[in-house]
């Protein structure tokens, strides 16, 4: 079997896929394997066809793969859909009452009725796959106890019955050895990592209106809110969510909202308000395919231009695009800090793939982050306080209402230095220039794109956000074939500081921009901002994540590789 096999769990919504998926993933991580999880689900609560796939390896991995080595099929549909993706030595695990043509594959038909309740198929399948992979029974049992504290007793019996059945089937086991990582790893997906990064970064307030795939950031925050002293509120709509966050931030609580493109469409006025009132604000936009409601539970990267231009008028902003859960953690904290220091909006673009993709990471440590404390730059003596004092940097000393005697006046109308509404056009001009001067700080703080690979490559992949893993592995595969390939990943897509990467692009052979949208939004941004025209674009917009195989197929189609 492959050195990095993929276990694909397929079935209808409501059958318990997530339970097996999370259980197996956690056991794998605890056993010292690296994982990359991809979740593909339909926008419904029952029925349909969903998958939870776990790619595992003893060596580090960063991307999902399309081939399937072990298929846990909850229904015949799952076999029919995924049979063609299975490797020749692939194994199918299914209940003995499921009807499906399984070809030449080894098929383990679990006698569910004799091992326990049919509804326990998910637990039995986990036990059988764990046995196949030679995982420790005790660890599976212990992990299940933690994951399913309420239904553990019933599940434990099914688990044990399935263990003994599996031992007696005598199927060959893939000889996979865990990496032997001694330090424990944590299992986390992109959205959880964003929430954990924000908490470590000093978040105090968050508001949201539920919208997949942005919601789980907030659910993670809510799970820890009481303990960590956060206030998290489900607002009446996205406009309320973003303006509540602005109100809280104005009063000194570093604040965050999360949503998807459709919800962000309603937040546009709030982003503009944060720009005008110079209030720190972090917005997470977990992208899904649009326009309008689109494919609610799938992935895409088509909101870059929207987020770049959201909000009327001209004001500075930063847009971050993490490529992994580790980057989600770091960038969420960084976003809060940057929003605070530039006193304006910072936007984080992720997508469904990364939001739901569990990985194993070194446990996050709050000690590695300096939490943001809202600036209190002016001494609170009496006298008129100029919230919008004109300064060389464009950043005005910030005071907080309620923590001293200075009166803080903020206005969404054009305003004087002390925050009052004005129509003095000389002041207007000065205020526009003051706000835009903050761009300088944003440019200085801009995260350089990460270059991975040998210098002067013949082929350079350029990507942003969640495509990082697929591009990295595609480049590795090409290098193994003797093609000098490298990748350049942007974890910040605005502002773009051309000096920090243009020479790299110019020194490379073919530059291939890989992104999850149809029109090449980032390629276009590169051209607009840096005058660099990429020769090749690879775009995916069918709602599925970009994989290394997808990239290599596209390269072959474009005859860039044979």
| Interacting residue ranges for another protein, rule: CB under 8 A | 29-30, 184-188, 192, 196, 199-200, 202, 204-205, 207, 224, 226-231, 233, 235-237, 239-241, 243-253, 255, 269-270, 273, 277, 363-367, 371, 373-374, 400-413, 419-421
> Residue 205 or 353: which CB sits closer to another protein?
205
Q: In this complex, which beta carbon is closest to another protein, that of residue 366 or of residue 450?
A: 366
* Min dist. Cβ of residue 125 to another protein (A): 24
CB closer to another protein out of 231 and 265:
231
CA torsion sign for 271, 377, 252, 211 is positive
Is the Cβ of residue 76 or residue 404 nearer to another protein in the bound state?
404
Q: Alpha-carbon distance 25 to 85, whole Å?
A: 21
Please identify, using beta-carbon distances, which residue of 183 and 480 lies nearer to another protein: 183
Q: Shortest approach of another protein to residue 10 CB, angstroms?
A: 26
CB closer to another protein, 267 vs 302: 267
Query: Least distance from C-beta 41 to another protein, angstroms?
Result: 22
Q: What minimum distance in Å lies between the beta carbon of 189 and another protein?
A: 11
Q: How far is the CB of 149 from another protein (least distance, A)?
A: 12
Rounded distance between C-alpha atoms, residue 265 and residue 263, angstroms: 5
Q: Nearest distance from residue 356's CB to another protein, in Å?
A: 16
Contact 217, 331 (CB under 8 A): no
Nearer to another protein, 130 or 400 (CB): 400
- Residue placing its CB nearer to another protein in the complex, 154 or 418: 418
226 or 314: CB nearest another protein:
226
Min dist. Cβ of residue 202 to another protein (A): 6
| Smallest distance from another protein to CB 335, Å | 16
Secondary structure element (H or E) that encloses residue 421, with its range: none
Choose between 98 and 240: whose C-beta lies nearer to another protein: 240
Nearest to 3 by CA among 181, 182, 175: 175
Tell the smallest beta-carbon distance from residue 271 to another protein (Å). 11
- How buried is 305 (Cβ within 10 angstroms: 0-12 exposed, 13-18 middle, 19+ buried)? middle
Q: Are strands 492-494 and 318-320 parallel, antiparallel or unpaired?
A: antiparallel
**131-135-138 Cα angle (round to 5):** 100
On the 0-12 / 13-18 / 19+ scale of CB atoms within 10 A, 29 is buried
Please state the closest distance from residue 371 (CB atom) to another protein, in A.
5
CB of 146 to another protein, least distance (A): 8
Does residue 460 sit in helix, strand or coil?
A: strand
Distance, C-alpha 101 to centroid of its chain:
36
Cβ proximity to another protein: between 249 and 517 the closer is 249
Contact 245, 206 (CB under 8 A): yes
CA distance 339 to 506: 33
Strands in 255-259's sheet, in edge-to-edge order, are 231-234, 205-208, 255-259, 281-287, 345-351, 318-320, 492-494
Q: In what order do the strands lie in the sheet with 34-40?
A: 106-110, 86-95, 68-73, 6-13, 47-57, 34-40, 359-361, 186-188
d(CA 242, CA 206): 9
For every residue of 259-324, DSSP letters joined together read E-HHHHHHHHHHHHHHHHHT--EEEEEEE---STT--TTS-----HHHHHH-SSS----EEE---S
Asked whether the beta carbons of 484 and 528 are under 8 A apart, the reply is: no
Least distance between another protein and beta carbon 34 (Å)? 14
Q: Cβ(320)–Cβ(347) under 8 Å?
A: yes
Q: In 3D, which of 452, 491, 490 has the Cα closest to residue 474?
A: 452
Query: Which lies closer to another protein via its Cβ, residue 138 or residue 402?
Result: 402
Which pairing describes strands 205-208 and 231-234: parallel, antiparallel, or unpaired?
A: parallel
Q: Please, what is the minimum distance in Å from the beta carbon of residue 247 to another protein?
A: 3
d(CA 340, CA 333): 11
Provide φ and ψ at 186, rounded to 5°.
-110, 150
Question: Which residue lies nearer to another protein by CB, 108 or 195?
Answer: 195
């Amino acid at each position: 079997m492959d050195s990095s096999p993929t276990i694909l769990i397929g079935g209808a919504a409501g059958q318990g896929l997530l339970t097996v998926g999370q259980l197996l993933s956690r056991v794998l991580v605890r056993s010292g394997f690296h994982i990359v999880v991809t979740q593909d689900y339909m926008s419904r609560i029952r029925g349909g066809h969903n998958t939870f796939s776990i790619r595992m390896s003893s060596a580090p991995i960063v991307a999902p793969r399309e081939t399937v080595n072990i298929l846990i099929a909850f229904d015949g549909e799952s076999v029919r859909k995924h049979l063609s993706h299975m490797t020749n030595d692939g194994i199918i695990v299914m209940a003995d009452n499921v009807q499906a043509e399984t070809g030449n594959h080894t098929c383990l038909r679990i006698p569910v009725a004799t091992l326990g309740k049919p509804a326990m198929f998910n637990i039995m399948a986990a036990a059988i796959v764990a046995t196949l992979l030679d995982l420790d029974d005790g660890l599976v049992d212990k992990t299940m106890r933690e994951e399913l504290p309420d239904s553990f007793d019933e599940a434990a019996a099914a688990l044990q019955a399935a263990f003994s059945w599996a031992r007696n089937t005598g199927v060959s086991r893939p000889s996979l050895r865990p990496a032997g990582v001694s330090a424990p790893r944590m299992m986390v997906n992109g959205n959880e990592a964003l929430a954990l990064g924000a908490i470590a970064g000093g978040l105090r307030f968050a508001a949201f209106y539920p919208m997949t795939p942005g919601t789980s950031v907030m659910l993670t925050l809510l799970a820890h809110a009481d303990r960590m002293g956060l206030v998290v509120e489900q607002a009446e709509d996205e406009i309320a969510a973003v303006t509540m966050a602005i109100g809280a931030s104005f009063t000194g609580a570093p604040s965050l909202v999360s949503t998807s493109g459709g919800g962000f469409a309603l937040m546009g006025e709030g982003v503009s308000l944060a720009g005008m009132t110079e209030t720190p604000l972090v917005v997470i936009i977990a992208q899904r395919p649009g326009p309008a409601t689109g494919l609610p539970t799938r992935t895409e990267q088509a909101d870059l231009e929207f987020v770049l231009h959201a909000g009327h008028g001209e004001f500075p902003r930063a847009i971050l695009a993490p490529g992994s859960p580790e980057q989600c953690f770091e960038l969420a904290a960084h976003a809060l800090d940057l929003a605070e220091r530039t006193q304006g909006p910072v936007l984080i673009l992720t997508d469904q793939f990364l939001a739901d993709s569990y990985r194993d990471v070194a446990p996050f440590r709050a000690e590695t982050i300096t939490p943001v404390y809202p600036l209190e730059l002016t001494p609170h003596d009496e006298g008129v306080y100029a919230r919008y004092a004109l300064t060389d940097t464009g950043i005005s000393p910030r005071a907080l209402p309620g923590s001293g005697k200075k009166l803080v006046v903020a206005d969404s109308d054009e305003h004087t230095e002390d925050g009052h509404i004005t129509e003095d056009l000389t002041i207007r001009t000065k205020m526009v220039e003051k706000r835009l001067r903050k761009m300088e700080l944003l440019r200085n703080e801009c995260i350089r794109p990460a270059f991975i690979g040998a210098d002067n490559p013949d082929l350079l992949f350029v990507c942003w956000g969640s495509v990082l893993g697929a591009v990295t592995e595609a480049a590795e595969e090409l290098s193994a074939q003797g093609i000098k390939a490298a990748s350049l990943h942007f974890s910040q897509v605005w502002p773009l500081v051309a000096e920090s990467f243009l020479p790299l692009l110019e020194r490379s052979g073919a530059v291939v921009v890989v992104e999850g949208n149809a029109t090449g939004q980032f390629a276009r941004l590169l051209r607009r901002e840096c005058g660099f025209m990429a020769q090749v674009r690879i775009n995916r917009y069918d709602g599925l994540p970009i994989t290394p195989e997808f990239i290599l197929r596209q390269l072959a189609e474009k005859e860039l590789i044979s």
